[in-house]
């Protein structure tokens, strides 16, 4: 029998905090990188879409995921709607799995996030090949693996401002 973990009540999320995290993720996605760093860079927007659709499914919708995808399509100059479709699929998966993922610890969540990130990257590759491109190679999927590895520190970091301050008068 598993020992139940203590539950922590977090402060409510403010829309400004979600907007701030989206801005930071956009900037991280748009950093100009070359060589190996470009292949191992995770899709920070995809990670953030999954995080917010798991943690706050009532505040982060598929419309916002779609709009973020359109922004990334314009920024990358890719097929219009390619990232939008991918981010919407990730958001939908987050909505469907949000109760299941929250039952597990952060390390166990990695094993759920990894296939989701790989499917998202595969969907981008299939859409790129559908417009006439070639298969990008297996190194193309390294970013998804590194993204899944970043899931645990990202969750801890994004949860920090939501942890209530301890009451100094409490014994």
Residues 61, 49: Cα–Cα separation, whole Å: 9
Residues 136, 37: Cα–Cα separation, whole Å: 16
- Residues 90-118 have a mean pLDDT of 92
* The pLDDT of residue 4 is above 60: no
Tell me which of 8 and 68 has the higher pLDDT: 68
Tell me which of 128 and 119 has the higher pLDDT: 119
Out of 9-18, 22-31, 34-43, the most confident range is 22-31
- Residues 6 or more apart whose Cβ sits within 8 Å of residue 111: none
Q: Look up residue 60 and give its two tokens.
A: 């982060």
Tens digit of each residue's pLDDT (9 = 90 or more) over 56-79 = 999 898 999 999 999 999 999 988
First to last CA, the chain: 32
* The pLDDT of residue 171 is above 60: no
pTM: 0.88
Give the chain's radius of gyration (CA, Å): 17
């Amino acid at each position: 029998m598993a020992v139940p973990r203590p539950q922590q009540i977090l402060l409510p999320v403010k829309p400004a905090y979600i907007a701030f995290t989206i801005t930071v993720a956009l900037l991280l996605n748009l950093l100009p990188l070359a060589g190996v760093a470009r292949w191992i860079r995770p899709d920070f927007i995809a990670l953030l879409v999954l995080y917010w659709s798991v943690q706050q499914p009532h505040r982060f919708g598929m419309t916002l995921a779609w709009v973020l995808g359109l922004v990334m399509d314009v920024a990358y100059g890719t097929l219009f709607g390619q990232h939008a479709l991918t981010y919407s699929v990730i958001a939908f998966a987050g909505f469907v799995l949000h109760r299941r993922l929250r039952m597990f610890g952060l390390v166990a969540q990695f094993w759920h996030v990894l296939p989701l990130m790989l499917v998202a990257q595969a969907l981008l590759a299939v859409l790129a090949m559908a417009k006439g491109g070639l298969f990008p190679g297996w190194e193309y999927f390294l970013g998804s693996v590194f993204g899944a590895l970043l899931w645990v520190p990202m969750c801890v970091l994004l949860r920090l401002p939501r942890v209530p301050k301890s009451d100094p008068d409490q014994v």
